A and B are shown apart, each in its own frame.
Chain A
Amino acid sequence: MQQLEYKVGSDNKHSIVVTLKPKIIELDEVGITSVNNGYQQIFREKSTGSFTVVSNRLFNEQVGTSVLARLDGIANGLTIDKKRANSYSTGIMIRGLSTIGGPKDPLIILDNFPYDGELNNINPNDVESVTLLKDAAAAAIWGTRAGNGVIVITTKKGRFNQPTTIEFASNLTIVVKPDIWYAKPISSTDYIDVEQFLYSKGFYNSNINSVNKPALSPVLELLIKKSNAQLTPAEAEARINALRYVDVRNDFQKYIYQPAVQQQYALSIRGGNQNIAWLLSGGYDRNISELSASLQRISLRSENTIRLNSKLQLTAGMSYIQNTTTSGQGGYGSITSGGGVSLYPYAMFADENGKALALNKSYRQSYLDTVGQGKLLDWKYYPLEDYKHALTTSNRYDLMAFANLNYKISSDWTAEVQYRYENQRTTNQTLFEKESFFARNTINNFTQLNYATGQKTNRVPVGGILDQSNILLLAKNYRAQLHYNRSWKNHRLSGIFGGEIREVNTNTNTYRTYGYNPDNLTSVNVDYTITYPQFVTGFSSFIPNTNFLSKETNRFVSTYTNLAWTYLDRYTLSASGRRDASNIFGVKTNQKWTPLWSTGLSWLISKEKFYTADWLPFLKLNMSYGFSGNINPNQSALTTITTQSTSPYTLLPMATISQYGNPDLRWEKSGQLNIHLEFKSLRNRLSGTIEYFSKTGKDLYGLTPIDYTGVIVNTLVKNTASMKGSGWDLELNSLNVDRKFKWQTTLLWNIAKNRVTEYYTNSARASNYILSAGTYSLSPLQGYPVYSVFSYPFVGLDPLSGNPQGIFNKQLSTDYTALVGDSLKNAVYNGSAVPLSQLALRNTFTYERFSLTVNIVGKTGYYFRRSTIDYFTLFNNGGGHADFARRWQNPGDETTTTVPSMTYPLVTNRDVFYKGSEPLVEKGDHIRLQYITLSYEYAPGKKRSTPFSRIRVFANASNLGILWRANTAKLDPDYLDNTIPPSAAFSVGCNLSF
């Protein structure tokens, strides 16, 4: 709502206040007139920066528990690198990567402050809109943390003079079972052949004779029985052959995976009169994953704005989130056989009656039967039962409260004080019941049997093992800010000046209780200072002690300003500046304060007198330049140490070196130029933005190989490189047909290129940069993209041996150590490792109350390395790739395959060479059907006799798969090829307003 004050009369003493009642309509991003950067509301017409706004409507075309995941493919300039996404990183990039060694995630602002809690706390139903701050003029106000761009999440608010509105939303999503057949492991029959081959070579002798008595696979046990004449060769062969047709993936499909179900409910009430605007909302989410893990989230939020008098306004609010998760079953890849060895492909989880079967996980059963004299706990592992006895429950309570006081000092000045407090308490509890494998294994290992007397001593008491951890996060934000706003004649000057203090505390404590009895809450003390011989191996070991305490305090102090001067309503000049300081340790004090600035210019061409293009009534040009930074708390000019636990020997603290002080270290600096053209045609038939940006990065941090004679590590983060990047962000919205039937198209096209312009170290051994599938590192060669895919030149397989052949010193070579040790300059450059361009095409067809949206996303211009057979892993860790079946076996095979023959003994670098060679690099280009949404919407408004003022019923399908891909291996280039990509999700839901 806008309040305008007009001075009238010659002495300016009288004034008329006109209050404009806003018309409540849902706005498209085209219609949004101002954006929030976390500090202030900026009118888009007068902004010099580059913003992307995701409107509420667009945001709600998809469903899902996570706010950020919904931005994929709909936010101009944003891409998600799903290979990098994990619990520590969102994988989100705004305009490509700006740093090499520093933190890569953009800064997330919830309403006015950086959000320190768990991102999954935020209920998407509370979100009004999401804004990306992309260029320096937009983001530099956030200083040293804005180097990777900023995402501002704005929640729904009550408004003054708004009739009470009740909104209800509900949806249900079913995610189909994961496509377990996507993974390409070695077949059971091939694996059994390998086991037989290695057995005949005596490969397993040291395991079979080992004092550790490691568990052996069923085939090996049969082979041993055959050798010991406990089985006839024919019988052994028959029993082995029976296993050739078993595929453990069938059991995963049958007993473990299930469709995931996600339910979401949200209710909000908001309203307002002249002096009060209020909102109350609540949400409930319930998810059951494909592995039976559960999540429940309850969120409550209230926000009120009160006009205390004509000058003073108070906004205060609170939110409470309770999030409970419970662990589920182990998935494909996480259930393993003994000693971290991959599960053999012919494992079986249940017998024909569905009764859970055991895997030998720790030690050979035949050995345990004799040595344990029946006095030990059962030492088998039952994959289908075990998770029930080892449940992890996590409870997270998040309380956030804030208050804003806004005081109008004069017609020009407004003062504002803001405070936000967040308290997030997480308790994780894993109870390994005494039936769990973990508890039984630990107890048995610390059992001592006196064979003379038959007496048994349990050094770890029989009972459950309870692991608990509590994490308390406290964040406090204080901000004081002055707004200046003054218009005279043809000038308008606006600005903010402010300072803020942030403090984030994290306290963690972790502890373990042995001999835990959940019935009467008793436990038994153990002695952590004495070693005991392990039951089977006899090795002396301490009882594992996981107790751990930590306390972290991060403090930030910042001052900032943002000024904009507009002349004639069409020329705007802006400037922003910010200094940040923090208590980052080991940084020299004079480096703690980092000044960063930006400046921008905007020209509303369509307001010029000479502008006569009626068909294009809005045309605006922006330019900006500025610097942003990147803090990396892990870089230090001083050597620092971290205190570890207490030594069980001296009973005094132990410490390790955590940072290697490097006096030569400098800050990473990156500058960004942005040119931005915005236009709208008549009746919005065509609108959009065309943006060009260029980035320069100096002294970028990168991992550099280092002579480890001088330090503990073999790579260190140093200022290694400079880079240049540039790109285009294109957004086109068109209304193709505008009748009863409407057809709207949005095209997003993001292009981002970069290259290394300088590289400070000269060690470029190929093997340091040609890494395994799915990982890529900084390219050390000038002129190449910062992340490049290189590979070893490959000249086919040797027709006599099936050995892969490379080129060393311009000669054909099979000296694999020399080949992988060669300079990267002699490697083949395949292309960029990250997409150079991303294209999203969204079409919406509307016919009366029905509407259909289809969003298609394409990525082009990049390469990835696919995985293949690695004989070392196959022999030693049991993990194999289906490429094994395509290996060279007989002369002539080299014409049809590139997969090397199996050789024994192992030549490790032969594997390394082939895995990094040319034939394994694939083009990443692909087009994906991101989502389809079909909806029915009827909005009769308040006046009608219907009980609701608006109803929307929708169905959405997402993760529908790839429409086209350049690679013939049928891999999804967005995901690592040893993980199963998310499967299709189907949702139905409704939104009601009263």
Chain B
Amino acid sequence: MKQQYKFTISILIATTLLLSACTKYLDTKPNQALSVPNSLSDLQSLLDTYYKLNNTDPGSSETSADNYYLTDADWNTLAEPYRRLYTWQNDRVFSNYQNDWSNIYSTVFVTNVVLDNIKSIERTAANQQEWDNVKGSALVLRARSFLQAAIIWCGPYVPGNAETAMGIPLRMSQDFNEKSTRSTLKQTYDQILQDLKEAADRLASTPLHVMRPSKAATFGLIARTYLSMGNYDSCLLYADKSLQIKSTLLNYNTINANNAFPFPQLNSEVVMENLIPVPPPISINRAKIDSTLYNSYHPNDLRKTLFFKSNGNGTYGFKGSYEGGGNLFSGVAIDEVYLMRAEANAKLGNLSTAMADLNTLLQTRWRTGTYIPVSNVTATALLQLIRTERRKELLMRGLRWMDLKRLNVEGENITLTRILGGQTYTLPPNDPRYAIAIPEEVVLLSGITPNPR
């Protein structure tokens, strides 16, 4: 019997020892591909997932804008939310999920994971370049998401009004148990600018690849943000900073108009690559380019053939995306920065510099030797000219909706109309519907305030 107790005790001791050894045994990763994101390379790999972060920009702003129209037959084939979005309805313009809101805030979530986790990684002399790139990139991606959201779901930025006007929910951490609330429009823009400015300090002038944010791209985005606020001084400052880093334009004379989609993806004008997966209404098979817009291109303007595909019946589709396909380019390109600098200069009265930029750009857009540089125009005419060129150059890049809001605030009085089945839909200047309806599902689940109607 005694022996038996000894035996039992020794078994117990052996078991205890075995169990303590197990703790290490259990530390193995269950899946080699899986990790808790705690290294800079983990965080960088999240940001390099281009198909989640670069290729998911929202299309509802371009869908709502006036660069195109639809025939009755084509409009009828669309899903209901798109039919409603096209005609600026008060509500139900998005599907419940997998919409622009979820795409934008998915990017915000990933960047918040990065920004939350980088706090626990020490920035050292050895890793500072990588550390700065990760943090800067995440800030840029979050800020440009917020900017896109503000352009879709907020009213225009009017300086005196921004403290009270509704902004967007500013999600600043990965904790999804936190409740969403709408900030003011000023808070929204302040956050965007703060993030972008910190990022500009951290990022390298030129990136490893234009899929990644860079100083040049960030300056471009800051300029775009200020432009949408109508702050031309700051717009000028940052557009100029961007062009100081990268300013070589693509000569359209070198582009082959016979290709189905003439512009190759990642061409030399791209500062940062982003795209809008083309929304069904804007697909080249449906969207007809506004005929006044098409007719405004001079026959010697290469864009007339490079941007537009004839449908054989007097209507035209858009094939000029910088994506080498039907998707819409929405990143930062040098032409946009030139036009921002030119517009800001014109607005601020620096006519000669504004003219110089406009001429530099258009030289590359016209058949070699045919372009007659602009000179000797009034300030108002020059501004008008630059704004017209801005529209002609940057159509289908998701920028027109932002411009419409800004121009109407400045009193350009643009009324949009759609005609379908004999019925006319109009969107008067500064209509509350310029702040598009937030998906009802989001309002229901989060309790945030819907846009006023």
B-contacting residues of A (Cβ < 8 Å)? 201-203, 205-207, 209-212, 409-410, 412-413, 482, 497, 499, 501, 531, 533, 537-540, 550-555, 557, 559, 581-586, 592, 633, 638-644, 647, 649-650, 652-658, 660-664, 705-712, 714, 716, 763, 765, 767, 817, 821, 904-909
Q: Are A654 and B36 in contact (CB under 8 A)?
A: no
B32 at the interface (CB under 8 A from A): yes
Q: Are A482 and B11 in contact (CB under 8 A)?
A: yes
Q: Are B259 and A201 in contact (CB under 8 A)?
A: no
Chain B residue nearest in CB terms to A653: B45
Of the stretches B154-162, B168-176, B330-338, B376-384, the one at the interface is B168-176
30 A-B pairs with CB atoms under 8 Å apart are: A201-B73, A206-B285, A413-B4, A497-B11, A540-B261, A550-B32, A551-B32, A551-B33, A553-B31, A557-B22, A581-B26, A583-B28, A585-B34, A640-B34, A640-B35, A640-B37, A641-B37, A641-B45, A650-B208, A652-B44, A654-B45, A656-B46, A708-B102, A708-B445, A709-B101, A710-B178, A711-B105, A711-B109, A821-B440, A905-B77
* With known contacts A209-B285, A555-B28, A658-B34, A907–B325 Cβ distance under 8 A: no
Q: Considering the chains assembled together, what is the distance between the CA atoms of A709 and B178 in angstroms?
A: 10
Q: Are B102 and A664 in contact (CB under 8 A)?
A: no
Partner of B446, one of A206, A497, A709, A716: A709
* With known contacts A211-B260, A581-B22, A644-B49, A710–B180 Cβ distance under 8 A: yes
* With known contacts A539-B325, A581-B22, A640–B285 Cβ distance under 8 A: no
Q: Are A649 and B26 in contact (CB under 8 A)?
A: no
What residues of chain A lie closer than 8 Å to B25, measured between beta carbons? 501, 555, 557, 583
What residues of chain A lie closer than 8 Å to B80, measured between beta carbons? 906-909
What residues of chain B lie closer than 8 Å to A212, measured between beta carbons? 285
B15 at the interface (CB under 8 A from A): yes
Q: Considering the chains assembled together, what is the distance between the CA atoms of A311 and B326 in angstroms?
A: 79
B246 at the interface (CB under 8 A from A): no
Partner of A533, one of B101, B179, B259: B259
What residues of chain B lie closer than 8 Å to A205, measured between beta carbons? 71, 73-74, 77
What residues of chain A lie closer than 8 Å to B36, measured between beta carbons? 585-586, 638-641
What residues of chain B lie closer than 8 Å to A583, measured between beta carbons? 25-30
Partner of A202, one of B52, B71, B445: B71
Chain A residue nearest in CB terms to B21: A557
What residues of chain B lie closer than 8 Å to A907, measured between beta carbons? 80
A550-B32, A555-B26 given; name 14 further pairs at CB < 8 Å: A206-B77, A211-B260, A501-B22, A533-B324, A539-B324, A540-B264, A553-B30, A585-B29, A585-B34, A642-B31, A647-B49, A649-B209, A653-B45, A709-B101
Q: Considering the chains assembled together, what is the distance between the CA atoms of A489 and B92 in angstroms?
A: 81
What residues of chain B lie closer than 8 Å to A658, measured between beta carbons? 34
Chain A: minimal CB distance from B84 (Å): 10
B364 at the interface (CB under 8 A from A): no
What residues of chain B lie closer than 8 Å to A538, measured between beta carbons? 259-261, 324-325
Q: Are A552 and B19 in contact (CB under 8 A)?
A: no
Chain A residue nearest in CB terms to B44: A652
Q: Considering the chains assembled together, what is the distance between the CA atoms of A787 and B113 in angstroms?
A: 35
What residues of chain B lie closer than 8 Å to A499, measured between beta carbons? 15, 18-19
What residues of chain A lie closer than 8 Å to B209, measured between beta carbons? 649-650
Hey, what's the 0/1 contact readout for B221-260 against A, CB within 8 Å counting as 1? Answer: 0000000000000000000000000000000000000011
Chain A residue nearest in CB terms to B76: A905
B406 at the interface (CB under 8 A from A): no
Chain B residue nearest in CB terms to A816: B80
Between B34, B113, B259, B266, the greatest number of chain A beta carbons within 10 A of the residue's beta carbon is seen for B34
Q: Are B445 and A763 in contact (CB under 8 A)?
A: yes
Q: Considering the chains assembled together, what is the distance between the CA atoms of A581 and B106 in angstroms?
A: 34
Chain B residue nearest in CB terms to A548: B33
Q: Considering the chains assembled together, what is the distance between the CA atoms of A409 and B5 in angstroms?
A: 13
What residues of chain B lie closer than 8 Å to A553, measured between beta carbons? 28-32
Chain A residue nearest in CB terms to B260: A538
Chain A residue nearest in CB terms to B27: A583
What residues of chain A lie closer than 8 Å to B90, measured between beta carbons? none
* With known contacts A412-B4, A641-B34, A908-B80, A763–B105 Cβ distance under 8 A: no
Chain B residue nearest in CB terms to A538: B260
Q: Considering the chains assembled together, what is the distance between the CA atoms of A410 and B6 in angstroms?
A: 13
What residues of chain B lie closer than 8 Å to A639, measured between beta carbons? 36-37, 113, 174
What residues of chain A lie closer than 8 Å to B96, measured between beta carbons? 714, 767
* With known contacts A531-B265, A581-B22, A552–B46 Cβ distance under 8 A: no
B196 at the interface (CB under 8 A from A): no
Q: Considering the chains assembled together, what is the distance between the CA atoms of A582 and B27 in angstroms?
A: 9
Partner of A708, one of B4, B50, B259, B442: B442
Q: Considering the chains assembled together, what is the distance between the CA atoms of A410 and B1 in angstroms?
A: 10
